[in-house]
């Protein structure tokens, strides 16, 4: 509390006590114990009211606008991981609030500590602390959007529709499968579908270096073919250990003109599964393997006509650095562990041992 208020309250208390003391000294009133108690209780409540009133005035001042006349919008950024204390200190250093402590207390009172979001905001010094605190829970200029490795463009479209209100059909008109690089992006809230797709594509061009593109020739493929194969490896592999091995198996099958027989390509061909609410069907049947589609690598040798998703760098590098082995077959057990086979007999045994 500010010193002026505490000094004033102390003066009032001393004054009231002096009056009561004089009354006792002068002998004007011989108070009984219950009257003394009543007087003391009265003093207590008077002091309490004064303290409460002073505290209310102090609090109102602390959370009031720094400058009610300054209506200019100024950018303020909250970085990922910033806690309330850091945010309060940064607000105070930019003269958006009067006190970091009062802002911290206010956020606790409002119960919005976990609702404060990272991103860029437009704040005004004419806003009071409460308005600033609530603004930091919504209405950001930018949003953090994360897309995952292996997502197909329809899955990205769903994410953008949910987080940015961008109609899925609009994004799909601009998106190109395989080139929507998976990453975490800071996206303006008012971004258009075309702008977001362009952001993803530019990140792809930045991450995928000219050296990586040149390395594709060393394995006898165009980079477009590498990207198609990487999109398959992204879905078929489970980690950094098995991706290069799977990439080597698929490359060997490709060069031998064998069907790749990759489940992920068949899942891509089958499309959205309403019952499972996923774009990637979990259990494939023999009937599924006969579906007519250029993406069905059980029926068609060679690569599908395009990527089946958007791979990350690890999958692309797995293809460029594919491991040469004696294996022609692979599968994953129910725990995600890869098992390889040199012959159809070994592969059949793996199916019996690990999938049945």
Q: Give pLDDT tens digits along the chain (356 positions).
A: 444 444 444 444 445 455 545 545 444 444 455 566 666 667 766 767 767 666 677 667 888 898 988 988 888 988 888 999 999 999 999 999 988 888 999 889 899 988 888 888 888 999 998 889 888 887 556 788 999 999 999 999 999 999 999 999 999 999 999 999 999 998 988 899 999 999 999 999 999 999 999 999 888 899 999 999 999 999 999 999 999 999 999 999 999 999 999 999 999 999 999 999 999 999 999 999 999 999 999 999 999 999 999 999 999 999 999 999 999 999 999 899 999 999 999 999 999 999 88
Side-chain-side CA neighbours of residue 179 (13 Å): 16
Say if residues 78 and 101 touch (Cβ distance below 8 Å): no
pTM attached to this predicted model: 0.66
CATH class of 74-135: alpha beta
Distances (CA, A) of 271 to 176, 258, 311: 17, 24, 18
Say if residues 73 and 120 touch (Cβ distance below 8 Å): no
């Amino acid at each position: 509390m500010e010193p002026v208020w505490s000094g004033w309250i102390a003066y009032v208390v001393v004054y009231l006590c002096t009056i009561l003391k004089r009354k006792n000294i002068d002998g004007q009133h011989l108070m009984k114990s219950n009257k003394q108690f009543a007087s003391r209780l009265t003093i207590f409540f008077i002091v309490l009211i004064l303290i409460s009133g002073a505290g209310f005035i102090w609090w109102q001042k602390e959370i009031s606008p720094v400058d009610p006349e300054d209506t200019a919008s100024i950018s303020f950024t909250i970085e990922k991981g910033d806690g309330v204390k850091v945010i309060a200190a940064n607000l105070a250093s930019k003269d958006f609030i009067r006190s970091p402590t009062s802002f911290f207390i206010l956020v606790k009172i409002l119960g919005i500590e976990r609702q404060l979001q990272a991103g860029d905001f437009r704040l005004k010094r004419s806003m009071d602390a409460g308005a600033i605190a609530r603004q930091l829970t919504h209405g950001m200029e930018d949003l953090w959007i994360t897309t995952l490795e292996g997502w197909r463009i329809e899955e990205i479209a769903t994410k953008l529709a949910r987080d940015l209100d961008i109609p899925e059909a609009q994004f799909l008109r601009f998106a190109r499968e395989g080139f929507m690089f998976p990453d975490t992006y800071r996206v303006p809230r008012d971004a258009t579908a075309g702008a977001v797709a362009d952001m993803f594509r530019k990140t792809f061009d930045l991450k995928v270096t000219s050296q990586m593109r040149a390395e594709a020739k060393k394995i006898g493929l165009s980079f477009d073919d590498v990207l198609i194969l990487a999109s398959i490896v992204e879905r078929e592999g489970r980690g950094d250990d098995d991706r290069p091995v799977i990439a080597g198996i698929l490359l060997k099958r490709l060069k031998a003109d064998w069907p790749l027989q990759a489940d992920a390509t068949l899942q891509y061909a089958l499309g959205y599964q309403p019952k499972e609410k996923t774009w990637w069907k979990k259990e494939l049947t023999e009937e599924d393997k006969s579906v007519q589609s250029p993406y069905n690598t059980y029926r068609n040798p060679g690569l599908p006509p395009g990527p089946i998703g958007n791979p990350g760098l690890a999958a692309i590098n797995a293809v460029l650095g594919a491991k040469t082995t004696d294996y022609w077959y692979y599968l994953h057990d129910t725990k995600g562990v890869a098992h390889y086979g040199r012959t159809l007999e070994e592969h059949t045994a793996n199916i019996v041992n690990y999938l049945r």
